Amino acid sequence: MAELPDKRTAFIDWYLAVVEAARLTDKRYPVKGMNIWTPYGFRARRNLDAVLVREIEATGSEALEFPALIPANEFAKEKEHIKGFDAQVYWVTKGGLSDLDIPLVLRPTSETAIYPIFAVWVRSHRDLPLNVYQIVNVFRYETKTTRPFVRVREIHFFEEHTCQANEEHATERVRSNLEAFRKMAAAFVLPYLPIRRPEWDKFPGAFYSIAFDAPVGGARTLQLGSVHHYRENFSRPYGIRYEAADGSQQYVHQTTFGLSERLLGAIVAVHGDAKGAVFPTAIAPYQVVVIPIPGTESGEGPLKVASEAAERLRRHGARIHLDGGDERPGAKYYRWEAAGVPLRLEVGRREAESRTLTAADRLGRKGPVALDRLEHEVGERLAEFDRALAERAHAAFAASFAVARSLAELAGSTQVRLVAWCGSEACGHQIEAAIDGALLGTPEAPLPIDPGATGACIACGATDGARWALAGQPL
């Protein structure tokens, strides 16, 4: 079996090889940017979605689902939004053999599908807040190279859409989303930084956008998701108004919160190593794989003990796989390590006789597990694995940032850079050119390193209004 490419020097090749070796998708579907979710990959996706659902519903949001097709005239109502998505929509222009009177857009995101209906639903201040989300597929005609999970044309999309009584409440909703994402990211063991995007890079039609960026090696970053404050930018064109307590008519202020399977890509990119993927237990398709080692003369002992252990753990609620195939044990170890399974339990003659299994976690720690205390000890080892994974990820996170004091210093960056920025678009673009990437924006949370005093804008030298911003190379 071939070695994986080196993660540090050939990141993209490594990433593609890991996705392939872990068997998360099948990329052979003959439409660009549309991958097949294999049973194993689908399990990961389902676990991921479960976390999203749990955390968003904890904030009082309700699931619903809108249709996938949007009439062209509704799609065109908000000018900035259209400009932003025009070039990447798929059109449905025919029904059977005849042309449609009104062409339909296959949703690239669902504002324009949902908001005409919000206008009907929202009548009174008593209808507010309206917090709903859906998990659906959206379609974007990406022109750049597509990559599994990270840049696809059929996106598995989580989108929350809300209506609030006023700007303050909408700001409050944004905060609540940031907090919900903090909990989601904890389950994924993904360190990230919430960053307010610069004006020219906010969501088309938004008042402002806050994105979650994770460093994934070198100066590269991956946007994990985003939260947007729309103010009245959509409620005006779509006529989403309510009658306030004082009898006046008011436009709602809206927010959205978007996430996708990119999170899975980030989990692979951040945690993966030279052996393949590494899944945190919350997402792992299988949390434990049990491998019986029959041996030549050990009889049925190992097999019986292995299935007993698997059955008990399954009843206990663990996601478990018993690998009873007739490959040699070593081949199975490699396979499940590449697949990112957190914990492996080995059952050979020795284990069967002593009723003590051998556990090996994906980070390389090994030790005995008494069959008597199986559920408890496996639970502890999984928790310990998550802790160690978090520690490793946070160490890498902290090491991913460095201050740059001049534009020249940005060239060839091997870290995400903190730069002093005056806030002007012209300077922003100079910074982007210097790092051959993007000015990600200004942090919305404490920085992972202490950069000291801001000083002067790295591009124009102005000291007035200069603040810390982040620059990197988005994947």
Partner RNA sequence: GGGACUGUGGGGUAGCUUGGUCCAUCCUUCGGGGUUCGGGACUCCGAGACGCCAGUUCAAAUCUGGCCAGUCCCA
Q: From the list 1, 97, 245, 408, which residue makes contact with RNA (rule: CB under 7 A)?
A: 1
Total residue length of the chain: 475
Would you state the structure tokens that stand for residue 6, as one six-digit string? 């080196």
Residues 70-99 that bind RNA (CB under 7 A): none
The answer to whether residue 102 forms part of the interface with RNA (CB under 7 A) is no
Q: 184 or 290: whose CB is closer to RNA?
A: 290
Q: 71 or 324: whose CB is closer to RNA?
A: 324
What is the Cα Rg of the chain in Å? 25
CA atoms of 243 and 126, how far apart (whole Å)? 9
- Cβ-contact 112, 64 below 8 angstroms: no
Residues 361-420 that bind RNA (CB under 7 A): none
Give buried/exposed letters for 286-302 (b at 16+ CB in 10 A, else e).
bbbbbbbbbeeebeebb
**Shortest spacing between CB 145 and RNA, in angstroms:** 3
Q: 358 or 442: whose CB is closer to RNA?
A: 358
CA atoms of 459 and 405, how far apart (whole Å)? 10
CA atoms of 461 and 455, how far apart (whole Å)? 9
Q: 148 or 204: whose CB is closer to RNA?
A: 148
Residues 141-180 that bind RNA (CB under 7 A): 143-146
**Shortest spacing between CB 147 and RNA, in angstroms:** 7
Question: How many amino acids of this chain bind RNA (CB under 7 A)?
Answer: 38
**Shortest spacing between CB 207 and RNA, in angstroms:** 28
Q: Which of 309, 342, 343 is nearest to 324 (CA)?
A: 309
**Shortest spacing between CB 362 and RNA, in angstroms:** 10
Q: 33 or 225: whose CB is closer to RNA?
A: 33
**Shortest spacing between CB 31 and RNA, in angstroms:** 7
**Shortest spacing between CB 358 and RNA, in angstroms:** 4
The H helix count followed by the E strand count for the chain is: 14, 23
Q: 297 or 450: whose CB is closer to RNA?
A: 297
Residue 451: asked if its preceding bond is cis (omega within 30°), the reply is: no
Backbone angles phi, psi at 430, to 5 degrees: -65, -40
**Shortest spacing between CB 75 and RNA, in angstroms:** 19
Would you state the structure tokens that stand for residue 145, as one six-digit string? 């190279």
Residues 291-350 that bind RNA (CB under 7 A): 293-296, 298, 302, 326-331, 333-335, 337-338, 346-350
Q: Cα(first)–Cα(last) distance of the chain, in Å?
A: 28
Residues 22-81 that bind RNA (CB under 7 A): 28, 30-33
CA atoms of 217 and 439, how far apart (whole Å)? 17
Backbone angles phi, psi at 183, to 5 degrees: -70, -40
Contact residues toward RNA (CB under 7 A) are 1, 3, 12, 20, 28, 30-33, 143-146, 293-296, 298, 302, 326-331, 333-335, 337-338, 346-351, 358, 360
